Amino acid sequence: MQSTITPGGDAGNTAQGGGSPRTLGGLGDVPIWFGWKPIPKRKSDGETVFAKVPFSPHDGRAGSSTDPTKWGTLDEARTAVARFGLAGLAIALTTLPDGTRLAGLDADACITNDPHSLQPVAPWARPVHALLDGYLNELSPSGTGRHHLFLVEPDRLPEGSGDRVDYSHGRKPARYGFELYLSEGRYFTVTDVDRRGELRMLGPQTIVQLVGELEKFAPKVGEPKGRQKSLTWETDHDKAIEILDYLPNAGGFADYMSWFTIVGSVHNATYGAPAGLHAVERWTARGGYDTAACSTLWNYFDRRPPRVTIAHLINQARDHGCEPYPPYVSGHAPRDG
């Protein structure tokens, strides 16, 4: 019977590898907290806007989302909010002491005001919110959006997943959409209003699905031009499919990132051709995995062409006892010395 587990699926959703999921309060002793306050700024067109500016919990002066010396514990930040008259708490999106990283998704203007709606989330935001169901989220300070917080493993982030941050439509005050923060140097305000879910690990497979949904939603500014086929394209195309058809898949690629890299190298070599996808599906099925994730990842690479090349596929084949390029043997008899 074929397994319904997708290749290297997001195992271990909890922050502590199978233990109790964390809450933000569980990070209270980690010095990643500070305060924030809205500061008016005048734009070049004369309009006044309010920026959420961080403040240090130590002295109430200007803070930073990148300087840890201007962060403190949760208790220190709470004391600073009261002492210096700040608007509220904030938390840095940064790497934690255990090596995981606090990351987040900002869903702006996603709360519907329709009193007849059974769902408070606007229809355009529901596919993304469904993917993050159960992960920690709360109402934003404006009351019109939600902040989603989760953990990621920096060394297992899918290639290209953090390249784009902004997936929004329109301009303020009518702006709506998403911002995805997988790298460091950002921060979220913390309201503790209508907080739901748990602080859990967002695995690479779910990240690929999330980015796919965000790409579907994002404004289309023109189709990507794509890569120009190299002079060796036909050779690489056929060789990649040939290698994959002979490459064993008996569990050696069960880890999602190993599978991710193999699929990326085939996509690169075949330039996203359907024949390449079909070869990936055959190879994935031979490992006993559900092939549903194949097309999702293939489409992801259509938007973000992978940097991994056929050379990786060749090396994997050799590591598993398959020589893609047998040594040349001349048809002539050796000369009599």
Residues 93, 65 share a domain: yes
Residues 176, 48 share a domain: yes
Residues 269, 164 share a domain: no
Amino acid in position 198: E
CB 232 within 8 A of CB 270: no
Residues 308, 173 share a domain: no
Domain assignment present for residue 72? The answer is: yes
pLDDT tens-place string over residues 212-234:
999 989 886 544 444 444 444 45
Helix (H) or strand (E) holding 260: helix 256-270
Give dist(CA 303, CA 317) in Å, integer: 27
**Residue-wise pLDDT tens for the chain (337 aa)?**
333 334 444 544 433 333 334 789 899 999 999 999 999 887 777 777 888 999 999 999 999 999 999 999 999 999 999 999 999 999 999 999 999 999 999 999 998 766 555 568 888 999 999 999 999 999 999 999 999 999 999 999 998 888 889 999 887 777 899 999 999 999 999 999 999 999 999 999 999 999 999 998 988 654 444 444 444 445 577 888 888 877 877 665 667 888 888 899 898 888 888 888 888 898 888 888 888 888 889 889 888 888 888 888 888 878 777 776 655 444 444 444 4
Domain assignment present for residue 170? The answer is: yes
Domain assignment present for residue 2? The answer is: no
Residues 284, 156 share a domain: no
Residues 210, 252 share a domain: no
End-to-end Cα spacing for the chain: 61
Residues 273, 125 share a domain: no
Q: Which residue has the tokens 């002295």?
A: 59
Q: Looking at the 3D structure of the chain, how many domains does it have?
A: 2
DSSP label at 122?
-
CA distances from 279 to 14, 59, 114, 249, 297 (A): 34, 60, 48, 13, 14
Instruction: Tell me the backbone φ, ψ of residue 178, rounded to 5 degrees.
Output: -135, 150
Domain assignment present for residue 13? The answer is: no
Cα atoms in the Cβ-side hemisphere of radius 13 Å centred on 85: 1
Hey, is 255 helix, strand or coil? coil
Give me 72's structure tokens.
Answer: 């403190």
Give dist(CA 61, CA 71) in Å, integer: 11
Give me 122's structure tokens.
Answer: 């606007």
Domain assignment present for residue 57? The answer is: yes
Query: What number of H helices and E strands is found in the chain?
Result: 8, 9
Residues 130, 168 share a domain: yes
Domain span at 306:
233-319
Transcribe 60-74 into DSSP letters. Answer: SSB--SS-GGG-B-H
Residues 122, 44 share a domain: yes
Give dist(CA 305, CA 49) in Å, integer: 38
Q: Nearest CA to 121 among 189, 131, 201?
A: 131
Give me 28's structure tokens.
Answer: 């209270």
Helix (H) or strand (E) holding 106: strand 101-108
Domain assignment present for residue 122? The answer is: yes
